Structure 1
Amino acid sequence: MTDLQDPADRPNQPLQTAGATPAGAAPVMEMEASAPPRNQWWDVWEQFRTHKGALFGLGFFIFALLFVFVGPLIWTIDPQYIDIRARNTGPSLAHPMGADQLGRDTMARMMAGGQTSISVGLTAMLLALFVGTLIGVLAGYFKKLDGPLMRLTDLFLALPLLPLLLVIIMLFRDQLRAAFGPEGGIFILIVFVIGITSWMQTARVVRGDVLAIKEREFVLAAKSIGTRPSRMILRHILPNVMSPIMVSATLGIANAIITESALSFLGLGFPSDFPTWGRLLFDATDWLQQNPERVIWPGMAISLTVLSVNYIGDGLRDALDPRIRGR
């Protein structure tokens, strides 16, 4: 016999209607609704800071930037000022890093040289990143351009880098100096030469990612509604390949600093009165036995800066990988 008693007359059983949630569910839903959305860049930082080497690299790179760009505001000695009485002296209160053979303050020249070396690294990296990203996206998205652009990339990879740099600098150095001055001309030439010979790895990495991304559902859906290729690349593909581009950017800075230092060490970079870390290292080799610290300062600056940038790149690679970040 069916119990036809009114549910309201049953005191020991709670009244439930269609669509009602169990007891305690509503507060949980309210808590979930009020929780702030997760920020992707915060997740990247959380993963990045677990990499001890990357944190060290970031800290030292910030210190190097402050030393070379903010330091001259505190240590106001002119890097070209000559104090004959201090020539070839070691570290002292007046000259914490010593003085060179002409009596110029080594710390002031380290700051000025760091400005040039880091500026060359950043500018050349931007040029290489632009060229590499452009060629990689075009080769990955347009099938007809893939073959020619990748053979061009292979051609640049097969060229001996350092002899090519030396030949280009020897051919165009005088013309650019006459057009832009002795300092501006050589700066433009070195940045262009380093940037135009450093884009190949970025192009290959970006091309591989574009080939994978353009076969995904959201790209195919955008194609089905007639999205133009330019809009497809800028709005859908390029934002999804930013992770390898950022990693390539950090490695490009290190490569540009090393290349500029090598050119300056060989005497084909900036003029002797325009200090860079590589030029300071070259000028100090003749005084290695008398003043070994003159070799140590620029050598440590180059090595630690390049090492710190490489560690930052490793940390970014791990932090931007969703498979690692989701662990």
Structure 2
Amino acid sequence: MAEITVNPNAAAPAAEEVPGPWRDAWRAFHKNKTAVMGLCIILLFIVIALIAPLVAPFDYKEQQLMDRLKAPSSTHWFGTDDMGRDIFSRVMYGARISLWVGLFSVIGSIVAGTALGIIAGYFGKWADMIISRLFDIILAFPAILLTIAIVAILGPSLQNALYAIAIVNIPTYGRLVRAKVLSLKNEEFILSAKAIGMKNMRILFSHILPNSLTPIIVQGTLGIATAIIEAAALGFLGLGAQPPEPEWGKMLSDSRQFIQKAPWTVIFPGGAIMLTVLGFNLLGDGLRDVLDPRMKH
């Protein structure tokens, strides 16, 4: 009988990498060039927002009236505004405000909308009727007009603008989650969980919520872009950030009378808004293509 020799120095076969939905999603996302481009744009503005106090060449509040409306130069890369303030420094600090408002207003909308959507979809009956009618009432008004009305009632400020943007966008996430819950609650794994006596709260947090994350993530990413535009619109109307805060929309409002005389006062904050919104839209579209099974070919 032939003997089988084993080489002790032979390398053990590499363990196969266990596939998973999130790992597969990351691989697909990594292949989506437009989504990666959007992520790079967002990361760039996040870095700018974080390092603004360290690298901004001037204080964003510093006024030099002798240097008002100076064209871009080696001293003032983006030029100066009508108060002689350095636009490059103000755009850098403005990234902190726009990203902060966009992120936290969407987080507030997601938390409130998800909670209401789960209650309406899972428990139904009178809870669903009340919550759905509340969503219908909010959606009956144009979003920007309702946002303006809420800020006008609360008072012009950046914080109140954040609250208004969050409130107006709650139905978007609430209806999205409600529809997802309605499709999930009659699935076999949910019915099995009920049959073995699992409590409703555990079902909601262990099964319903995790399976509802995909549309929330996609809509939330796109929602940040919308929130940034709404914050800029409120700032343009004087209802958002108040002077001397360097909010991009407010910068556009203050510079609109100098469009012909000093176009750089409008070009750079407007370009910052455009690039940031573009980044989140590209990322959101990429996530939708990756996470939504209906988009896969």
Normalising by structure 2, what TM-score? Answer: 0.91
Separation in 2, partners of 1:151, 1:117: 32
C-alpha displacement at 1:301, in angstroms?
Answer: 0.9
Residue pairs, 1:177-326, within 5 angstroms:
186-322=157-293
Residue pairs, 1:29-44, within 5 angstroms:
34-44=15-25
- The answer for the alignment partner of 2:103 in structure 1 is 122
What is the percentage of aligned positions where both structures have the same residue? Answer: 39
Match of 1:157 among 139, 156, 163: 139
Three-state SS of the structure 1 residue aligned to 2:132 is helix
Separation in 1, partners of 2:294, 2:159: 41
Question: For each residue in 1:106-131, what CA deviation from the matched residue of structure 2 results, as whole angstroms up to 9, or x when unmatched?
Answer: 01111111211110111100011111
* Alignment RMSD (CA, Å): 2.0
C-alpha displacement at 1:83, in angstroms?
Answer: 2.2
- The answer for the alignment partner of 2:4 in structure 1 is none
Three-state SS of the structure 1 residue aligned to 2:31 is coil
Separation in 1, partners of 2:22, 2:146: 40
Separation in 2, partners of 1:160, 1:262: 14
Three-state SS of the structure 2 residue aligned to 1:257 is helix
**2:94–2:246 CA contact under 8 A, matched in 1:** yes
Match of 1:147 among 123, 126, 129: 129
CA spacing shift, 1:34–1:162, aligned 2, 3 Å: closer
- The answer for the alignment partner of 1:66 in structure 2 is 47
Three-state SS of the structure 1 residue aligned to 2:262 is coil
CA spacing shift, 1:229–1:68, aligned 2, 3 Å: same
**1:69–1:111 CA contact under 8 A, matched in 2:** no
Specify the code of the residue in structure 2 equivalent to 1:291. A
Specify the code of the residue in structure 1 equivalent to 2:51. V
C-alpha displacement at 1:187, in angstroms?
Answer: 2.7
Structure 1: runs of 5+ lacking an equivalent: 1-7, 9-29, 175-185
C-alpha displacement at 1:85, in angstroms?
Answer: 3.0
After superposing the two structures, state which structure 1 stretch, 77-86 or 242-251, moved more: 77-86
Three-state SS of the structure 2 residue aligned to 1:290 is coil
C-alpha displacement at 1:76, in angstroms?
Answer: 4.2
C-alpha displacement at 1:161, in angstroms?
Answer: 2.6
Normalising by structure 1, what TM-score? Answer: 0.83
Separation in 2, partners of 1:161, 1:39: 39
Question: For each residue in 1:178-197, what CA deviation from the matched residue of structure 2 results, as whole angstroms up to 9, or x when unmatched?
Answer: xxxxxxxx232111111001
- The answer for the alignment partner of 2:77 in structure 1 is 96
CA spacing shift, 1:276–1:132, aligned 2, 3 Å: same
C-alpha displacement at 1:53, in angstroms?
Answer: 1.7
1:109 aligns with 2:80: no
Separation in 1, partners of 2:17, 2:268: 48
Separation in 2, partners of 1:143, 1:289: 58
Separation in 2, partners of 1:77, 1:52: 36
Please identify the structure whose Cα radius of gyration is greater: 1
C-alpha displacement at 1:51, in angstroms?
Answer: 2.2
Three-state SS of the structure 1 residue aligned to 2:148 is helix
**2:151–2:161 CA contact under 8 A, matched in 1:** yes
Structure 2: runs of 5+ lacking an equivalent: 2-11
Separation in 2, partners of 1:167, 1:323: 38
**2:104–2:162 CA contact under 8 A, matched in 1:** yes
After superposing the two structures, state which structure 1 stretch, 66-75 or 129-138, moved more: 66-75
C-alpha displacement at 1:324, in angstroms?
Answer: 5.0
Specify the code of the residue in structure 1 equivalent to 2:153. L
Separation in 2, partners of 1:214, 1:168: 35
